[in-house]
Amino acid sequence: MKLRTVIVDDERMARTRLRRMLEKDPEVEIVAECEDGLAAVAVVQEQEPDLLLLDIQMPEMDGFGVLDALGPERTPEVVFVTAYDEHAIRAFDEHALDYLMKPVAPERFTKMLARVRERRGKAKQDSLFEMLAQRKADNRAARLMVKNGERTSFIAPEEIDWVEAAGNYAILHLGKRTHILRETMSALETQLVGDVFCRVSRSAILNLRRVRELQSVSPGEHVAILTDGQRIGISRSLREVEEKLRHV
């Protein structure tokens, strides 16, 4: 996806110089050029660009006025391009990504574009992680619904000691009670596994808050002992299970 860019400067020669440098990069799209701050505000609100190359000293509305008018929610990545260095501190206080001095050297301009792309890439990655985390959270069951004949029971995850695989079914162990649920372990794993639950083998998911201790019964063979004395085999990395237990 191209880097959609708006150039804002009241000097035609300055805009031309920036445009020529941008045109050398095939991954940049210049969506507009503006010669004053008022026009810049309107263009950014309409076009929603990725990058704003912004002069500071302009008639009617300066560069900082543009940012104030847009507000943080509507402001793209901002790089100030100016002939004056006394505004640098305020520029970075306004969260500008970069501050270029006129006339801008091509090498410095190329470095600026790399910084913009790096920032955008990180923002996309962070957004993706947040989306996946939210999707995982949404998939976790508030309560599990278990049908038994004419009766339907609702079980809160924290009631479960452990889950045992039984073909296409799962057996929920709750103290001395058990419930059979028509769910695969993989389906239950997406609903339960998190900070509290951990799948320790193909056939067992444990509520880590019910684990009293871990034992090695032979080289490479380990078991989890629950608070009621039940012993559950572990085929997952013991170190991973220990790390999860440290945080519950």
pLDDT, tens digit (0-9, with 9 covering 90-100), for 22-39:
999 999 999 999 999 999
> What is the token pair recorded at 135?
């999707």
Tell whether the model's pLDDT for residue 245 goes beyond 60: yes
Query: Phi, psi (5° rounding) for residue 191?
Result: -90, -30
pLDDT tens digits for range 132-172: 455 455 445 567 888 877 788 888 888 999 999 998 899 99
Over the stretch 95-108, which tens digit does the pLDDT of each residue have?
Answer: 888 999 999 999 99
Q: What is the DSSP string of 87-141?
A: THHHHHHTT-SEEEESSPPHHHHHHHHHHHHHHHHHHHHHHHHHHHHHHHHHHS-
Confidence class for position 130, pLDDT limits 50, 70, 90: low
Task: List, in sequence order, every beta strand (DSSP E) within the chain.
Answer: 3-8, 28-34, 51-54, 77-82, 98-101, 144-148, 151-155, 162-166, 169-174, 177-181, 197-201, 204-207, 211-218, 221-226, 231-234
**146 neighbors 166 (Cβ within 8 angstroms):** no
The whole-angstrom separation of Cα 124 and Cα 140 is 25
